[in-house]
Amino acid sequence: MTTRRQTAESFIFVKEELLKLRYLPQRSDAFQVSSHADALHPDRVVYTEGADYTVDYENGWIGRIAGSRIPDWSKHALYGVSDFNHTLYEDYSNRNYTVYAEYSYVSGQEAGEAAQAAGSGGPDILKRTASKLQAGEEALYVVYGDSISTGGEASADKFTYFHRFAEHLKRLYPGGSIRIVNKSIGGEATGGGAGRVEEDVLPLKPDLITIGYGMNDQNKYEHGNGTSLMDFERYLRRMIEAIRDHAGSDIVLVTPCSPNPLWRHTSGQTRDYAAVIRRLGAEYGLGVADVYMVWERELAAGKTPESLLLNNINHPNDYGHYLYYLAFAEMLASQPAEQ
């Protein structure tokens, strides 16, 4: 059991309703709530305990105080609205309502359980990348996927999941360097990824590629989902086999997070798309960063969808990107970096 620091856990407060902290905070260390995950952000506001918020250290709860400077999400245009169509609202984002908490906690048995639940592959799944880094060489990492993989809604490059993952690999294998090339496209589903993989990925001959799709595929429309599960599997196979056969890259598949269940285009089938990704990972012997499992674990522990999604639909905030990165660390069965 060791003491760790949670530095950017995100919250959306509604009136004076209490929210569960992800971990039980230590009273002996400074507890801080601020407006930005980045401690160096020029517009960062640090809120005052006892005036803006209250903390129940014994039971792990936090709440906004009446009259607080912390924004009240009950003033949001979507408060109390279900099955919402975001295109009908001028501002549907949670950007102006999200705050971040920093505190120390004692990690315990949950860390070991999480490593078994949220990823598959182990440290040997990245043989080509590890070999290059251990030799002091540069490894090329291609990020492939939809808007989340472009870094969507992260406040800075350093908070994106792929930058965190690259830094994690450099800590595991010091001496080498990693060059990131992002070939993701916002709004894209697997059909688009399969259609351009030969042109956009294969000529690069990456040492490592992460493939992150599923969010736009699961979207619900009048005609059905954006991509059927059958086509989703077919398109992923096409990408995997093209990269495996022509580039020989280390491949990591990434399951999607859960979109806001109150959004009109949420199908409720994200788990099914994640299951396809896990099955293909096992079949092809690939690493799987199981973000879906990490995300659902957070929700089960008391996090709200609004607290994790900056656009209030399907884009993670800075803490949400950390959860994506956490799935990679657990895939490698290695200790994640503090935020």
pLDDT in tens, 238-261: 999 999 999 999 999 999 999 999
**Lookup: tokens for 16:** 């004076």
**Cβ contact 176:137 at 8 Å:** yes
SS3 labels along 234-282: HHHHHHHHHHHHHCCCEEEEECCCCCCCCECCCCCCHHHHHHHHHHHHH
Per-residue pLDDT band for 110 (boundaries 50, 70, 90) equals very low
> What pTM does this model have?
0.94
Question: Per-residue DSSP letters for 73-104?
Answer: GGGSTTTT--SB-GGG-S----TTT-EEEEEE
Q: Kindly report, residue by residue over 32-62, the tens digit of the pLDDT.
A: 999 999 999 999 999 999 999 999 999 999 9
Provide the residue type at 213 as one letter.
Y
What pLDDT is stored for residue 122 in this prediction? 65
For the chain, the maximum distance between any two Cα atoms, rounded to a whole number of angstroms, is 61
Query: What is the distance in angstroms between the CA of the first residue and the CA of the last residue of the chain?
Result: 18
What is the Cα 228 distance to its own chain's centre? 24
Distance CA 127, CA 332 (A): 12
Provide the residue type at 217 as one letter.
D
What pLDDT is stored for residue 115 in this prediction? 41
Per-residue pLDDT band for 123 (boundaries 50, 70, 90) equals low
Average pLDDT for the chain: 94
* Share of residues in the chain with pLDDT > 70 (%): 95
**Cβ contact 156:177 at 8 Å:** no
Distance CA 36, CA 95 (A): 10
